[in-house]
Structure 1
Amino acid sequence: MYPEISLGATCLGQGRCRFLVWAPRAQKVEVRLVWPAERLVPLEKNSQGYHHAIVQKVESSTQYLFRLDGDTERPDPASRFQPGGVHAPSEVVSGDFPWNDACWFGLPLEDYILYELHVGAFTSEGTFDAVIPHLGSLKELGITAVELMPVAQFPGNRNWGYDGTYPFAVQNSYGGPQGLKRLVNACHHNGMAVVMDVVYNHLGPEGNYLSDFGPYFTDQYKTPWGTAVNFDGPHSDNVRRFFIENALYWVTEFHIDALRIDAVHAIFDFSAKAFLEELALAVHQQAKHLNRRIHIIAESALNDPRLVRPRALGGYNLDAQWNDDFHHALHTLLTGERFGYYQDFGKLRHLTKAYRDGFVYSGDYSAFRQCRHGNSSRDIPARRFVVFAQNHDQIGNRMGGERLSTLISLEGLKLAAGSVFLSPCIPLVFMGEEYGETAPFPYFISHSDKALIENVRQGRREEFAPFKWQGVPPDPQDEKTFLQAKLNHNLRYQGHHRILFDFYKELIRIRQEIPALSVLDNDQMRVREEENENVIILSRWGASGDVVVIFNFKKAQATVNVFLSSGRWKKRLDSAEKRWQGPGSRMAHDIVSNGQVALTLQPHAVILLINEKE
């Protein structure tokens, strides 16, 4: 249940505001109201280190700071809005908003077609409101869920969002809390869910004042980005409360439909009841209370199926997780790249296993990691995996932030799209991918600390060392690096970009219309590879008919013998056809099968055959 007494500043009506902050390291905490009128009000401390008071004559938009032990002044750790940035006073925010989504109850996760976007780079304006006019285009494409990269307040006005320091505050340069609510409301009006990317494994270094209040962090563990959050040490109950309340805040106050939890492998927690399990339980309980479908999706580099296993089987009962193995297996087949973590992939059997089992590395030796990696996910339904040909990490963590559109041909891009959307998993599109956007998506920041800026630059150079790319990465602090990531939406209407958009739209429509493709269950699927021809054959079935998908990863024509049950089959999709600006198909539209058919595929083609039962 959503806590009745929330952290931070809560408007109670009639000019009253309740302030609540966890600050066990301070003997005395006062709230200093700095605008519109100066006032200093003492808070009362309880035995758990919480300081609270109900203060009169405080309205929405009042700005304030917490004064610790009569000396240090800091913004509210649970601030709802930082209009002046990470170092400035917090602002009291009213929860009032004219929602018109009362009939919105969320979507089953199986219906999600995810579209990941960065609010700052998606439009020239870089705001929530500027996203809204594009929702019609996304709906036309077939998108059912918009996934926002982190929008919690970060330093400056350009950042990927993973350097956020105020988990409850909506980024000021994006439009603040009201702007986010307008976007969520508009998405729901268009029948689309909203997924929020949240970061619970660390906070960014600039503007991070939580340690002044209490033991939010621990020196027991280190993350790649700094000190780890204290989820299992002394006082960790109250740290957990902070982050779980944050999750409940998003799904309740902002009507968010799903949370994507960033890099859970960097959430260090050896307690008997893991934080992630507790988080999922709280969110799922809140979903029942709100009578809405709300999901938890994890990103993890561990290949650990416990994340999505039911609690009764020793799992954390998260709803889904990203499957990087699928991406790596697909990317290496399309590009031929074999450096860095791609050295563990490159065989057709890797993608075949990703389709069949989920994780490719399920206890196998990883040359990149120089140890065995992962555990078997064969018992995990395909609907619990999110798959993609591109995402912010896999593009942005390249030297120049290059997209697939600049690395492979149009035929390869269509093959990549087919590989994702005709899979039995939940598909994700990274913004602009659907029309072959050419703008790079490099890493960018706007810090004010010179030493921190240099550390980020050095860290990026070191990160790219295993990939042996030539040159120097774009300067993350340079505004030009950010500006070059802005999308050019007009490309969608031009040449092969328009063809690619229409191809994506057709794939999504087919996925939603054909029952055998809408069943996200690997038990109703068979997959095999023709290693000599570099072809994967994926068979799926449902109550109303069967489908066979053939992927040719060869840069030349391939001829394969395909088992098709006796009867008449129709070609439903062929990326080689002229309508998709392909070289022309070598396959008939109608095929009569007696059980085995020899088919010829054009280079990098994807073909879908369907046999509907009468």
Structure 2
Amino acid sequence: MIFEVWAPRASRVEILPWQRELRAEGGGWWSVEVPEAGHGSDYRYMIDGDGPYPDPRSRRQPEGIFGPSRVYDHARFTWEDHEWKGRDLRGSVIYELHVGAFTPEGTFAAAIGKLEHLVELGVDFVEIMPVAPVPGGRNWGYDGVDLYAVNETYGGPDGLKMLVDACHRAGLGVILDVVYNHLGPSGNFLHPFGPYLTGTQGSYWGEAVNLDGPDSDEVRRYFMDNAVQWLRDYHIDGLRLDAVHALHDRRAVHFLAELADEIDALSCHLGRPLTLIAESDLNDPRMIMPREAGGYGMAAQWSDDLHHAIHAAVTGENHGYYADFAPLASLAKALTSGFVHDGGYSGFRRRSHGKPFTGPGHRLVCCSQNHDQIGNRPRGDRMTPAQLRLAAGILLASPYTPMLFMGEEWGTRSPFLFFTDHVEPALREGEGERRRREFEGFGYEWDAPDPGDEESFLRSKVDWSELKEEEHWSLLCWYRDLIALRKALPELTDPRLDRVRVEFDEAARWLRMGRQSLSVVVNFCPDSVTLPLSETPILLIAEEGVSADQGALRIPGQSMVIYRSVT
């Protein structure tokens, strides 16, 4: 077996346990053949006498981030998803989950047992939060290192493949959340190998990745090859790229555009659609513009504006960044224009922000809950079932690509707290304070539980037994009905924003969104509201107490209805 590693500044590279020196091959690459090594062999590298270190491209870390790398042969896994032809993002509903908190067991295998629930719910994609190895046994995943490996706590590389295989056989696509803007603070052994990082603070979370400095060609290749691995060797259907606004790249061809080119070529080879979704808070339409038009060529991007507007309307919260979205006019703009901040002034940022969105609505992935918007609250609290009924109605009737967060569909009472398990005392003891500083100015009284306390993780596991309770089962049926209606009526998946019309009454706190003869009316006020109708309505989905007669639509407080007008 041949081992290869990139270490452009090294003068001597050795592989253990065989104590063999690698040969310089040019371009900073080193290689050596070890005939006795193969699948299952453990190894590490020594760099100029320092180490030992795991392989930067390690496919497996069976003993965690501080242990040896292990040779893993992708060809040894037997796939059963031969009939899978992929899934397009257009018209789809995404379901985001954290493997460790999705089931009591917290494993890929246990998640397979819940796929029938997702199929019956009606979603099309499962989006998995990051699975790279992390410190300790519990973490959101954004502290990952050894980016080519899979967290052994969840089930390792074979476990992930079995989950993807099962999803495909169930008709579900899989999107994997990957983090290319920084590496975790613990177990990051890239520095001895080469200039993967710039040494400067690239974001709040760590050093910037070297995408445009000296030797950055190979650094870019490291991350692009990683993306290819997930899509090719793990049969993943798409990647959610974390916080791309923290990818610092001044090259003429941005890393994202280069990555999009690479993935398009892979899609042509594999004969199935592959999707790149960027998480960005820049409100920059170049993210999803075609590369031929000067854009980055992402298939879609996360957009927080609709979330903020829905959350403010449903909960009444107006602190921090919600202040910019408190008026119903913001929700109306989000539903018709994509971005609320499209060049105007943002009070939270204290400057102008964004640029008008010009693409079809399906290129924006929107939600009423996700891991950030729940987990970045001190207590990790969620909307109530009553609030979620309204939020889901707006989201699933919107012209965007909807995304749900695990447990949302039945209104779980489980919070989603920020949790870690750092092994170094300094990181463990300082995590809570670091987290508090990160959210200064957000308007919260920061009384969050200790992220390092195991109870923070255990409390974040969704409680499936809640489905036995009427309130939760009723909400699940509501979500199922909304998703089924979205798939049945072409108006609800129509991404053309110029066909969406919205009217609202700020004082009375109601909003009506319409496309063709279909209308969605939401009453955010505690009191009932009566709206005049010029046409006869056919109620498609309505909460209890909604009625239509004699040219009027009566909607109880904090409820909604979807209806079709008949001339």
Calculate the TM-score normalised by the size of structure 1. Answer: 0.90
Deviations 1:440-470 (A, max 9, x none): 1110000111111233211112234324434
SS of the equivalent of 1:147 reads strand
Which of 552, 559, 564 aligns to 1:605? It is 559
Which amino acid counterpart does residue 558 of structure 2 have in structure 1? H
Which of 61, 66, 72 aligns to 1:87? It is 66
Aligned to 2:337: 357
SS of the equivalent of 1:330 reads helix
Which of 498, 502, 505 aligns to 1:523? It is 498
Q: CA shift at 1:471, angstroms? A: 5.7
Q: CA shift at 1:472, angstroms? A: 2.4
- Does residue 1:587 correspond to 2:548, yes or no? yes
CA contact (8 A) 2:102 2:111 kept: yes
Aligned to 2:530: 559
Q: CA shift at 1:562, angstroms? A: 4.9
- Does residue 1:507 correspond to 2:482, yes or no? yes
Which amino acid counterpart does residue 368 of structure 2 have in structure 1? A
Cα–Cα, structure 1 residues 288 and 563, in superposed 2: closer, same or farther, change >3 Å? farther
1:598 and 1:527 map into 2 onto residues whose CA distance is 18
Aligned to 1:59: 38
- Does residue 1:328 correspond to 2:308, yes or no? yes
SS of the equivalent of 1:105 reads coil
SS of the equivalent of 2:79 reads coil
Pairs within 5 Å for 1:231-250 = 231-250=211-230
Deviations 1:319-352 (A, max 9, x none): 0011101111111111111112112120001011
Pairs within 5 Å for 1:155-170 = 155-170=135-150
Cα–Cα, structure 1 residues 216 and 560, in superposed 2: closer, same or farther, change >3 Å? same
2:534 and 2:157 map into 1 onto residues whose CA distance is 55
CA contact (8 A) 2:436 2:446 kept: no
Which amino acid counterpart does residue 15 of structure 2 have in structure 1? V
CA contact (8 A) 1:399 1:464 kept: no
Pairs within 5 Å for 1:106-125 = 106-125=86-105
Which amino acid counterpart does residue 139 of structure 1 have in structure 2? V
SS of the equivalent of 2:449 reads coil
Which of 234, 237, 248 aligns to 1:254? It is 234
1:455 and 1:306 map into 2 onto residues whose CA distance is 38
CA contact (8 A) 1:162 1:199 kept: yes
Q: CA shift at 1:383, angstroms? A: 0.7
- Does residue 1:343 correspond to 2:343, yes or no? no
2:149 and 2:446 map into 1 onto residues whose CA distance is 38
SS of the equivalent of 1:321 reads strand
1:144 and 1:28 map into 2 onto residues whose CA distance is 50
1:238 and 1:561 map into 2 onto residues whose CA distance is 64
Pairs within 5 Å for 1:7-406 = 17-33=1-17, 39-95=18-74, 96-377=76-357, 379-405=358-384
SS of the equivalent of 2:148 reads strand
SS of the equivalent of 2:168 reads helix
SS of the equivalent of 2:187 reads coil
Cα–Cα, structure 1 residues 528 and 18, in superposed 2: closer, same or farther, change >3 Å? farther
Which amino acid counterpart does residue 333 of structure 1 have in structure 2? A
1:266 and 1:464 map into 2 onto residues whose CA distance is 17
Aligned to 1:457: 432
SS of the equivalent of 1:21 reads strand
2:529 and 2:2 map into 1 onto residues whose CA distance is 69
CA contact (8 A) 1:460 1:473 kept: no
Q: CA shift at 1:71, angstroms? A: 3.3
CA contact (8 A) 1:80 1:92 kept: yes
Which of 409, 412, 418 aligns to 1:443? It is 418
Deviations 1:382-406 (A, max 9, x none): 010011110000000001110112x
SS of the equivalent of 2:462 reads coil
Q: CA shift at 1:612, angstroms? A: 7.6
Q: Which runs of 5+ in 2 are unaligned?
A: none
SS of the equivalent of 2:295 reads coil
Aligned to 1:9: none
Which amino acid counterpart does residue 394 of structure 1 have in structure 2? Q
- Does residue 1:571 correspond to 2:539, yes or no? yes
Q: CA shift at 1:491, angstroms? A: 0.8
Q: Which runs of 5+ in 1 are unaligned?
A: 1-16, 34-38, 578-583, 592-596
Q: Identify which range, 513-522 or 263-272, moves more after superposition.
A: 513-522
SS of the equivalent of 1:178 reads helix
Q: CA shift at 1:552, angstroms? A: 1.6
Aligned to 1:422: 397
1:400 and 1:585 map into 2 onto residues whose CA distance is 35
Q: CA shift at 1:380, angstroms? A: 1.4
CA contact (8 A) 1:152 1:171 kept: yes
Which amino acid counterpart does residue 13 of structure 2 have in structure 1? V
Q: Identify which range, 394-403 or 604-613, moves more after superposition.
A: 604-613
Aligned residues: 566
1:481 and 1:572 map into 2 onto residues whose CA distance is 41
SS of the equivalent of 1:167 reads coil
CA contact (8 A) 1:29 1:69 kept: yes
SS of the equivalent of 2:26 reads coil
Which amino acid counterpart does residue 418 of structure 2 have in structure 1? Y
Q: CA shift at 1:525, angstroms? A: 2.2
CA contact (8 A) 1:339 1:466 kept: no
Deviations 1:563-595 (A, max 9, x none): 65xxx54110112x2xxxxxx22335xx8xxxx
Which of 514, 521, 526 aligns to 1:539? It is 514
Cα–Cα, structure 1 residues 292 and 563, in superposed 2: closer, same or farther, change >3 Å? farther
Cα–Cα, structure 1 residues 279 and 167, in superposed 2: closer, same or farther, change >3 Å? same
Which amino acid counterpart does residue 10 of structure 2 have in structure 1? A
Deviations 1:421-450 (A, max 9, x none): 011111111000000101111100001111
2:195 and 2:443 map into 1 onto residues whose CA distance is 40
2:362 and 2:563 map into 1 onto residues whose CA distance is 22
CA contact (8 A) 1:586 1:602 kept: no
Which amino acid counterpart does residue 563 of structure 2 have in structure 1? L
1:612 and 1:194 map into 2 onto residues whose CA distance is 40
CA contact (8 A) 2:546 2:553 kept: no
1:274 and 1:173 map into 2 onto residues whose CA distance is 35
